[in-house]
Amino acid sequence: MKEVLRIRDIMNPSPVIINKKASVLDATKEMKSERVGSIIIVEDGKPIGVLTESDILRKIVAEEKDPSKISVEEVMSKPPITISPDATIEEAVRLMGKHKIRRLPVVDKGKLVGMVTEKDIMQSSPLLLDIIEEWAEIVRERLSYRGAGKTMAGKCEECGMLSSRLVDVNGRLLCESCAELVR
């Protein structure tokens, strides 16, 4: 029987962290020096938020705010969506798709023990590269796909899950569950 890859097998056990009172400028400098796209905000060893490049662009740069005068606590994404180190890669992919995120702090018994990213997942399984190629083909097929009652296989544009029964709802390919919610 094939052993299932767990998050603990692919996570970074030393994620980049910062205190909630630190300035966005300090967080950005730390992210730059560590060459990461996000930083986890912790309090007593527990993750309370995540600050991403996207948060900085949308909430600081686009708003023309001074990053040296704003604390990360004011602009971090919270509460953080987390995952257990014992979870499977499939569970992580589902969670990322559902919440439309690319990074998950890994938490064990309430304490931060790591970080897993889309990149970690992609590097862990060459099979996923085959899936990406299939998705690209599905996207190409979608350009010519239009017709009531037809279904096809691919990735749901709402929740990100793979489905063999996607339906076209207002120009978007959705799994049956998401299609029911939209209708």
- The predicted pLDDT at position 137 comes to 67
pLDDT at 156: 84
Domains, the chain:
7-123 (3.10.580.10), 126-182 (no CATH)
Pair 50, 6: CB distance under 8 Å: no
Task: Give pLDDT, residue 75.
Answer: 96
Query: Which of 161, 179, 163 is closest to 171 using CA atoms?
Result: 179
Q: Give me the tens of pLDDT residue by residue for the chain, a chain 183 residues long.
A: 556 778 999 999 999 999 999 999 999 999 999 999 999 999 998 999 999 999 999 999 999 999 999 999 999 999 999 999 999 988 998 899 889 899 999 999 999 999 999 888 877 766 666 666 666 666 656 555 545 456 777 788 888 878 878 888 887 888 888 888 876
